[in-house]
Amino acid sequence: MLRVRVSPRRFPPRWSVEELDACYVVRDHDGQQLAYVYFEDEPGRRSAAKLLTKDEARRIAVNIAKLPDWCENKSSAGAWTVGRMRHGASSPSRISDELLYQKLRY
What is the value of pTM for the model shown?
0.60
pLDDT value for 46: 83
Domain boundaries, the chain: 16-75+93-104
Give Rg (Cα) of the chain.
18
Q: pLDDT per residue over 45-60, tens digit each?
A: 888 878 899 999 999 9
Q: pLDDT per residue over 71-88, tens digit each?
A: 766 444 444 444 443 444
pLDDT value for 43: 87
- Percent of the chain at pLDDT exceeding 70: 58
